[in-house]
Chains A and B, each alone.
Chain A
Amino acid sequence: MSNLNISTISKTFGSQQVLNNISLDIADRSFVALLGPSGCGKSTLLRLIAGLEHPNGGQIHLDGQDITRLPPERRDIALMFQSYALMPHMTVFENVRFPLRMKDSAPKSEQAEHVRNALAQVQLDSFADRYPRQLSGGQQQRVALARAIVAEPKVLLLDEPLSNLDARLREDMQVELKRLHRKLDLTTVFVTHDQTEALALADQVVLMNKGIIEQIDTPERMYARPRTVFAAKFIGAANVIEIELRDIAGERCGVLNDGTVLDPSPDVELPAGRYKFMLRQEAIIFNPKGKNTVRLEGTIETQNFLGSVTRSIIRIGNQKISAVTPAKNTPVDGSQVTFGWNLPDFLPLQD
């Protein structure tokens, strides 16, 4: 069991409030992403969990034990640094054995067994005698991973685990991390600024912005139902469309900036006023049919062919809407088009 409970944590550096009253429960064996732009406080939160920083207020509990003031080496939490922090003067084997050597009083042969197991987990068994500088970046990272799991910590923390790898290696490592998490059943928290990484790896995404948590959700829900304008823009690409809700002839209608009335009107119960709505690029349909479908006239202003899909920028009045549609069903650049979306795809956002 390793439940991590973070309650009302605040952290300031000088006059700067980096974390503002954060509460977060991380369930046993979950894979959690702390996601946000740089400066949102996600790395500080990770360092607080690790014990490398101390909060100005609030508590952190691990399995019911208050660890807020516990030094890092007594928390049973391992951290893999973004730079890997491998000891350059030690072999792979010595690097991975280091935590055991520091903490464990087990005999050397038993430690060696643990080291070999950890190296096998990351498929580096045959590299034990090499030095870190003799390994590729991806291999160095797997050494760091083996070193983090060798002492069987209760919680594994990863700081930007994929940011130092090239694109192809990054995909391999995503698969690898997911496999390892499933196999070890280890509560894992990682920090990333890359939303695709968070969506691909985590089963729980914690979206942070300016020292607060914007939204906590599964990747699927986070993508489908972002609550705020920030979440909609940060997770995947989205159109944010401003409309006015007002009553026309006794009926609540959505009106675009240029006066176009949406038909049917958005399926929401909100008082009259101006609102921002999200519309995913891929939710747009050309030549829509059906009852619950909004239909509008516009012009394709520019188009980018992206292989399997095409991105079109559609102009309607002074509004630009970006659409991503299957390449073969997309009308040509410059043409007048009828387009629309299914009613449930048009979601109101909070500011």
Chain B
Amino acid sequence: MANTETMTLNMGPQHPSTHGVLRLVLELDGEVIVKVTPHIGYLHRGVEKLSEHRTYHQILPLTDRLDYLAPMSNNLGYILAVEKLMAVEVPERAETIRIIMAELTRLQSHLVWIACHALDIGAMTVFIYAFRERETIMEIYEQISGARMTSNFFRVGGLSQDVPDGFVKKVSDFIDVMPGYLDQYEGLLTTNPIWLKRTIGNGVISAEDAIDIGITGPALRGSGVDWDLRRDTPYAGYEKYTFQVPVGEKCDTFDRYKVRLVEMRESCKIVRQALDKLKPGPVLADCPQVCYPPKENVYNSIEGLIHHFKIASEGFYAPEGEVYQGVEAPKGELGFYIVSDGGNMPERLRIRPPSFINLQAIEQMSVGSMIADLVAVIGTLDIVLGEIDR
């Protein structure tokens, strides 16, 4: 008499392909997955709670550490929410540089995605290639902010400083060569029969289900929903740029892969447009109640020093009220919801992390398939645990 029972397999938090410290408890029938239970919280740092005891300026470095593969996107989301609350106008140059950096960040995040996704499915070379290109973006990061990952570059009202000489050339050169590199990845993957076998029909989620769960970003567009915050609810000056929003049809891993690749090409185009728009000018709003004073004032005048000290220690008092600002981060809609009671610290800061909500789809996308498919699904959802656990 055949007596079959399922096997429980604990995958993670220490596992090569759970992208950090995700822990999945799998119920397996042989190799076939019967049930997936994600266990999260291994990287919880309490960013939302910490934010209630930080001034608005002091919260910014915490946002670097949400989605650590796209620090500037997080910075941008938070900064925009605070600027909305304070009604600060940003100078044009700052706005343009923000767009450049946000799109480079998208490129960087997608590069890490394609690297890890390909490695999960077994294609080792793409991993190294993509990290080679990411390195250039990291150098640009370092050049402008001094840090490779925890950039903390944007400020409420603009930027912490202007970009150094050579920035435009470096970005421009990179944008010129990037599409060629994308062709290289596509040459290794898009026409590879094994890659097609592994991705087509894998992790299917219909448009209705995707909307019900609340999936956003490339994962949603891969399911055929034409929704991009940059185009549909423009922020940070995105309405001045023209770009395509790629949409998939078959709702599977391969379509999400194609969507992200097209997005990378579109990002290059946006950066090119922004570079053409870039004109000299101030990079910080003239709004002394909120913004830090220019550094030369701080070093050379007592008034500047006092001003700096006040902003750094006490911060600024926000009007009572609440704002929500969502941005199209590389992984989906990253939202910051700030409730202010009129103090210099938020009463409550709620972060809507795209990865956390996209992860909810994992059960639907992987039940009935095999362990190897689950690994591909984790890759295609493009999750980052720093953001999920906050």
- Do A and B form a real pair? no
